[in-house]
Amino acid sequence: MSNFKIAIVEDNMIIASAISEMLLSIGYEVPDNATHYTEAIELIHHEKPDLVLLDINLMGKKDGIDVARTLNSDFQIPYIFLTANLDPQTLNRAKEVSPQAYLLKPVTREQLFSAIEIALNNYTKQKNNSSSAKIKQEEHASFFIKDGYIFKKIWLRDILYLESEGNYVNIHLLAQKKIMIRSKLEDLLEQVKHPALLRIHRSYVVNKELIDHVSTSEISINGTKLAIGKSYKDELMKALGITQ
């Protein structure tokens, strides 16, 4: 159990200290407490806890529910809401962010232990189910190309763009490296098939996740500007969710 790290975000220092002592007595690792939104995000970013105990009513403009939204979008870390009471309006806001559990203050050691164990167990199941659902999409997250006498694995996340040169394709990578392979662009796309790769020109296919900005005639990807073909413009804008 000592391998689990539990972060506390609570602006009442007496309550935070009491919860910290309970967690330490159970065997969890506990970093320093955070008391407001900015401090909480910094704590989570640096400590990377396995679970967060999160007070809903934090001081400042942003409360615990705002922290929870950031946890969901940027960190994918489970959390348990701590609260002394929940009015209907706050409860409705809390439901929208789908916490793993709620704990009413004051919290006992037994309640804390049970809530954490159940939350971690449920989160693990949810994550496993989500991963299973994505297996099909991630089947082509990498592919092999021949480089000399060996086959090299290319991860799609490392690709900036593909550039066609007749019967060859230049694969431009994040590490400022270029690999040339003998293949037509159409054939390589048929082999790879991944939604992140988007054709913007007869000569270019880009990793849409790495696009910096888009204008009416070109895109910039990692500082490199590439032309947008007229026949590909509408599809590009649609894929990026841009309304013209």
Among 112, 136, 160, identify where a domain stops: 136
Contact 151, 164 (CB under 8 A): no
Among 136, 157, 178, identify where a domain stops: 136
Same-domain pairing of 17 and 122:
yes
Quick check: is 30 in a domain?
yes
pLDDT digits (tens, 9 = 90+) for 55-102: 999 988 999 999 999 999 998 889 999 998 777 888 888 889 988 888
Domain of residue 153, CATH code = 2.40.50.1020
Higher pLDDT, 138 or 126: 126
Q: Alpha helix locations (H) across 29-79?
A: 37-47, 64-70
Same-domain pairing of 72 and 122:
yes
Report the percentage of the chain scoring pLDDT > 90: 49
Same-domain pairing of 113 and 12:
yes
Helix (H) or strand (E) holding 197: strand 197-201
Burial 16-40 (b: 16+ CB within 10 A, else e): bebbbebbeebebbbbebbbbbebb
pLDDT digits (tens, 9 = 90+) for 1-29: 346 899 999 999 999 999 999 999 988 89
Same-domain pairing of 106 and 203:
no
CA distance 67 to 153: 38
Helix (H) or strand (E) holding 109: helix 109-138
C-alpha distances out from residue 170 to 25, 197, 198, 231, Å: 58, 14, 15, 22
Same-domain pairing of 125 and 208:
no
- For the whole prediction, is pTM greater than 0.75? no
Secondary structure (3-state) at 171: strand
Same-domain pairing of 110 and 163:
no
Same-domain pairing of 126 and 150:
no
Residue 79: domain span: 6-136
Same-domain pairing of 149 and 232:
yes
> What is the C-alpha radius of gyration for the chain, rounded to an integer number of angstroms?
24
Quick check: is 61 in a domain?
yes
Among 98, 119, 136, identify where a domain stops: 136
Same-domain pairing of 132 and 74:
yes
Give the total number of structural domains in the chain.
Answer: 2
Residue position matching structure tokens 């006498």:
149
Quick check: is 96 in a domain?
yes
Contact 49, 77 (CB under 8 A): yes
Quick check: is 232 in a domain?
yes
Quick check: is 244 in a domain?
no
Residue 138 in this model has a pLDDT that exceeds 70: no
Contact 210, 221 (CB under 8 A): yes
Same-domain pairing of 176 and 65:
no
CA distance 93 to 244: 33
CA distance 218 to 228: 5
